[in-house]
A and B are shown apart, each in its own frame.
Chain A
Amino acid sequence: GEDVEQSLFLSVREGDSSVINCTYTDSSSTYLYWYKQEPGAGLQLLTYIFSNMDMKQDQRLTVLLNKKDKHLSLRIADTQTGDSAIYFCAESGSSNTGKLIFGQGTTLQVKP
Protein backbone atom coordinates (compact mmCIF):
# COMPACT_ATOMS: atom_id res chain seq x y z
CA GLY A 1 0.00 0.00 0.00
CA GLU A 2 0.92 3.66 -0.10
CA ASP A 3 2.21 5.24 3.09
CA VAL A 4 4.35 8.25 3.96
CA GLU A 5 5.96 8.68 7.38
CA GLN A 6 7.59 11.68 9.03
CA SER A 7 8.77 12.51 12.50
CA LEU A 8 6.30 14.81 14.24
CA PHE A 9 8.50 17.50 15.74
CA LEU A 10 11.87 19.21 15.23
CA SER A 11 13.35 22.08 17.23
CA VAL A 12 16.39 24.07 16.10
CA ARG A 13 18.16 27.34 16.95
CA GLU A 14 17.94 30.28 14.57
CA GLY A 15 20.87 30.18 12.13
CA ASP A 16 21.30 26.39 12.35
CA SER A 17 20.41 23.96 9.59
CA SER A 18 17.19 21.95 9.82
CA VAL A 19 16.79 18.50 8.32
CA ILE A 20 13.30 17.05 8.00
CA ASN A 21 13.06 13.40 7.02
CA CYS A 22 10.40 11.38 5.25
CA THR A 23 10.05 7.76 4.16
CA TYR A 24 7.60 6.53 1.54
CA THR A 25 6.54 3.15 0.27
CA ASP A 26 5.42 3.54 -3.34
CA SER A 27 8.48 3.23 -5.58
CA SER A 28 6.36 4.05 -8.65
CA SER A 29 5.74 7.63 -7.46
CA THR A 30 6.78 10.04 -10.19
CA TYR A 31 7.23 13.12 -8.02
CA LEU A 32 7.86 13.75 -4.32
CA TYR A 33 6.83 17.05 -2.78
CA TRP A 34 7.48 19.27 0.22
CA TYR A 35 4.73 21.62 1.37
CA LYS A 36 4.88 24.24 4.15
CA GLN A 37 1.85 25.24 6.21
CA GLU A 38 1.96 28.26 8.49
CA PRO A 39 -0.72 28.72 11.18
CA GLY A 40 -4.09 29.63 9.69
CA ALA A 41 -2.85 29.32 6.12
CA GLY A 42 -3.08 26.85 3.26
CA LEU A 43 -0.28 24.65 1.96
CA GLN A 44 2.57 26.35 0.16
CA LEU A 45 4.44 24.27 -2.41
CA LEU A 46 8.09 24.59 -1.36
CA THR A 47 9.80 22.29 -3.81
CA TYR A 48 9.49 18.94 -5.53
CA ILE A 49 11.82 16.37 -7.01
CA PHE A 50 11.41 13.98 -9.90
CA SER A 51 11.94 10.36 -8.91
CA ASN A 52 14.97 9.89 -11.19
CA MET A 53 16.89 12.71 -9.46
CA ASP A 54 19.10 12.40 -6.37
CA MET A 55 19.25 16.01 -5.31
CA LYS A 56 17.65 19.37 -5.96
CA GLN A 57 18.78 22.71 -4.56
CA ASP A 58 16.76 25.90 -4.48
CA GLN A 59 18.31 28.78 -2.49
CA ARG A 60 18.27 27.71 1.18
CA LEU A 61 16.46 24.44 0.44
CA THR A 62 18.13 21.16 -0.49
CA VAL A 63 16.14 18.02 -1.22
CA LEU A 64 17.89 14.65 -1.14
CA LEU A 65 16.29 11.49 -2.49
CA ASN A 66 17.53 7.98 -1.74
CA LYS A 67 15.44 5.76 -3.98
CA LYS A 68 16.91 2.53 -2.67
CA ASP A 69 15.82 3.30 0.89
CA LYS A 70 12.73 5.28 -0.21
CA HIS A 71 13.97 8.17 1.92
CA LEU A 72 13.45 11.86 1.23
CA SER A 73 14.90 14.75 3.21
CA LEU A 74 14.52 18.52 3.22
CA ARG A 75 17.43 20.60 4.48
CA ILE A 76 16.84 24.26 5.32
CA ALA A 77 20.07 26.21 5.64
CA ASP A 78 20.36 29.19 8.03
CA THR A 79 16.94 28.50 9.54
CA GLN A 80 14.96 31.62 10.46
CA THR A 81 12.03 32.15 12.84
CA GLY A 82 9.84 32.63 9.75
CA ASP A 83 10.55 29.01 8.85
CA SER A 84 8.53 27.86 11.87
CA ALA A 85 5.64 25.89 10.37
CA ILE A 86 4.39 22.38 9.64
CA TYR A 87 6.18 20.68 6.76
CA PHE A 88 4.37 17.96 4.80
CA CYS A 89 6.08 15.40 2.62
CA ALA A 90 3.87 13.95 -0.15
CA GLU A 91 4.21 11.40 -2.92
CA SER A 92 2.28 11.22 -6.16
CA GLY A 93 1.57 7.49 -5.74
CA SER A 94 0.87 4.97 -8.48
CA SER A 95 -2.65 6.02 -9.44
CA ASN A 96 -1.53 8.95 -11.64
CA THR A 97 -4.76 10.79 -10.80
CA GLY A 98 -3.23 13.79 -9.08
CA LYS A 99 -4.12 12.37 -5.67
CA LEU A 100 -1.25 13.01 -3.27
CA ILE A 101 -0.34 10.76 -0.35
CA PHE A 102 0.67 13.04 2.55
CA GLY A 103 2.76 12.32 5.60
CA GLN A 104 1.52 13.40 9.02
CA GLY A 105 3.59 16.58 8.93
CA THR A 106 6.66 17.70 10.90
CA THR A 107 6.27 20.74 13.14
CA LEU A 108 9.46 22.82 12.94
CA GLN A 109 10.07 25.10 15.90
CA VAL A 110 12.83 27.70 15.47
CA LYS A 111 14.13 29.22 18.69
CA PRO A 112 15.75 32.67 18.61
Chain B
Amino acid sequence: DTEVTQTPKHLVMGMTNKKSLKCEQHMGHRAMYWYKQKAKKPPELMFVYSYEKLSINESVPSRFSPECPNSSLLNLHLHALQPEDSALYLCASSQRGQGNSPLHFGNGTRLTVT
Protein backbone atom coordinates (compact mmCIF):
# COMPACT_ATOMS: atom_id res chain seq x y z
CA ASP B 1 0.00 0.00 0.00
CA THR B 2 1.22 3.49 -0.84
CA GLU B 3 0.76 6.48 1.43
CA VAL B 4 0.67 8.84 -1.54
CA THR B 5 -2.71 8.66 -3.26
CA GLN B 6 -3.21 9.70 -6.86
CA THR B 7 -6.46 10.12 -8.77
CA PRO B 8 -7.59 9.17 -11.29
CA LYS B 9 -5.70 5.92 -11.99
CA HIS B 10 -6.34 6.23 -15.72
CA LEU B 11 -7.27 9.24 -17.86
CA VAL B 12 -7.99 9.54 -21.56
CA MET B 13 -8.29 13.05 -22.93
CA GLY B 14 -8.47 14.80 -26.26
CA MET B 15 -6.03 17.51 -27.27
CA THR B 16 -8.60 20.24 -26.64
CA ASN B 17 -9.67 19.02 -23.19
CA LYS B 18 -8.79 20.46 -19.79
CA LYS B 19 -8.28 17.98 -16.98
CA SER B 20 -6.53 17.79 -13.61
CA LEU B 21 -4.48 15.14 -11.84
CA LYS B 22 -4.68 15.03 -8.06
CA CYS B 23 -2.27 13.84 -5.39
CA GLU B 24 -2.66 13.63 -1.63
CA GLN B 25 -0.37 12.61 1.25
CA HIS B 26 -0.96 12.59 4.99
CA MET B 27 2.57 11.85 6.19
CA GLY B 28 3.25 15.47 7.15
CA HIS B 29 5.77 15.78 4.32
CA ARG B 30 6.65 19.32 3.27
CA ALA B 31 7.94 18.65 -0.25
CA MET B 32 5.90 17.29 -3.14
CA TYR B 33 6.92 16.37 -6.67
CA TRP B 34 5.54 15.63 -10.13
CA TYR B 35 7.43 13.15 -12.31
CA LYS B 36 6.68 11.93 -15.82
CA GLN B 37 7.58 8.38 -16.84
CA LYS B 38 7.57 6.89 -20.33
CA ALA B 39 7.45 3.12 -20.78
CA LYS B 40 10.67 1.30 -19.87
CA LYS B 41 12.35 4.58 -18.86
CA PRO B 42 13.23 6.14 -15.49
CA PRO B 43 11.02 8.92 -14.10
CA GLU B 44 11.83 12.47 -15.18
CA LEU B 45 11.34 15.33 -12.74
CA MET B 46 8.82 18.01 -13.75
CA PHE B 47 8.12 20.15 -10.66
CA VAL B 48 9.07 20.39 -6.98
CA TYR B 49 7.07 22.19 -4.29
CA SER B 50 8.81 22.87 -1.01
CA TYR B 51 6.72 24.27 1.86
CA GLU B 52 3.94 24.95 -0.66
CA LYS B 53 6.15 27.09 -2.88
CA LEU B 54 7.31 26.06 -6.35
CA SER B 55 11.04 25.52 -6.04
CA ILE B 56 11.90 23.65 -9.26
CA ASN B 57 10.34 23.77 -12.73
CA GLU B 58 12.35 21.58 -15.10
CA SER B 59 11.49 23.72 -18.15
CA VAL B 60 8.11 22.04 -18.46
CA PRO B 61 5.79 23.37 -21.23
CA SER B 62 3.07 25.72 -19.98
CA ARG B 63 0.34 23.27 -20.99
CA PHE B 64 1.23 21.61 -17.65
CA SER B 65 0.33 23.83 -14.69
CA PRO B 66 1.05 22.67 -11.12
CA GLU B 67 -0.76 23.84 -8.02
CA CYS B 68 -0.16 23.16 -4.33
CA PRO B 69 -3.27 24.28 -2.39
CA ASN B 70 -1.82 23.11 0.92
CA SER B 71 0.99 20.91 2.22
CA SER B 72 -1.04 17.71 1.73
CA LEU B 73 -2.36 18.31 -1.77
CA LEU B 74 -0.76 18.66 -5.19
CA ASN B 75 -2.56 19.11 -8.48
CA LEU B 76 -1.41 19.08 -12.08
CA HIS B 77 -3.68 20.97 -14.48
CA LEU B 78 -3.55 19.83 -18.09
CA HIS B 79 -4.62 21.83 -21.14
CA ALA B 80 -4.06 21.44 -24.88
CA LEU B 81 -1.85 18.38 -24.49
CA GLN B 82 -0.16 16.54 -27.33
CA PRO B 83 -0.17 12.78 -28.00
CA GLU B 84 3.51 12.64 -26.99
CA ASP B 85 2.45 13.74 -23.48
CA SER B 86 0.90 10.29 -22.99
CA ALA B 87 2.79 8.75 -20.05
CA LEU B 88 2.58 7.66 -16.43
CA TYR B 89 2.48 10.73 -14.17
CA LEU B 90 3.86 10.07 -10.73
CA CYS B 91 3.46 12.17 -7.62
CA ALA B 92 5.94 11.87 -4.76
CA SER B 93 6.49 13.44 -1.38
CA SER B 94 9.39 13.75 1.05
CA GLN B 95 9.85 15.12 4.55
CA ARG B 96 11.93 17.96 3.21
CA GLY B 97 12.95 19.06 -0.27
CA GLN B 98 16.53 17.96 0.28
CA GLY B 99 18.71 15.10 -0.81
CA ASN B 100 18.67 13.45 2.61
CA SER B 101 14.95 12.84 2.58
CA PRO B 102 13.66 9.77 0.69
CA LEU B 103 10.91 10.25 -1.88
CA HIS B 104 7.73 8.22 -1.49
CA PHE B 105 5.82 7.71 -4.73
CA GLY B 106 2.16 7.17 -5.51
CA ASN B 107 0.95 4.58 -8.03
CA GLY B 108 0.57 7.18 -10.73
CA THR B 109 -2.02 8.29 -13.27
CA ARG B 110 -1.73 6.68 -16.68
CA LEU B 111 -2.57 9.43 -19.16
CA THR B 112 -3.47 8.84 -22.78
CA VAL B 113 -3.86 11.85 -25.08
CA THR B 114 -5.85 11.16 -28.25
A interface residues (Cβ-Cβ under 8 A, vs B): 29-31, 33, 35, 40-45, 48, 86, 88, 92-93, 95-100, 102-105
Closest-by-CB residue of A relative to B49 is A98
Q: How far is B99's CA from A96's CA once the two chains are assembled, in angstroms? A: 5
Taking CB atoms, residues of chain A closer than 8 Å to B6 are 42
Taking CB atoms, residues of chain B closer than 8 Å to A43 are 43, 90, 92, 105
> Are B99 and A95 interface neighbours, CB within 8 A?
yes
> Are B99 and A98 interface neighbours, CB within 8 A?
yes
Q: How far is B108's CA from A65's CA once the two chains are assembled, in angstroms? A: 30
Taking CB atoms, residues of chain B closer than 8 Å to A45 are 102-105
Taking CB atoms, residues of chain A closer than 8 Å to B104 are 45
> Are A98 and B94 interface neighbours, CB within 8 A?
yes
> Are B90 and A98 interface neighbours, CB within 8 A?
no
Q: Is B59 an interface residue (CB 8 A)?
A: no
Q: How far is B103's CA from A31's CA once the two chains are assembled, in angstroms? A: 11
Taking CB atoms, residues of chain B closer than 8 Å to A98 are 31, 33, 48, 50, 94, 96-99, 101, 103
> Are B105 and A97 interface neighbours, CB within 8 A?
no
User: Can you list 23 residue pairs at the A/B interface with Cβ under 8 Å?
Assistant: A29-B99, A31-B102, A42-B6, A42-B90, A43-B90, A44-B2, A44-B105, A45-B102, A45-B103, A88-B42, A95-B99, A96-B99, A97-B48, A97-B56, A97-B98, A98-B50, A98-B96, A98-B97, A98-B98, A99-B56, A104-B41, A104-B42, A105-B42
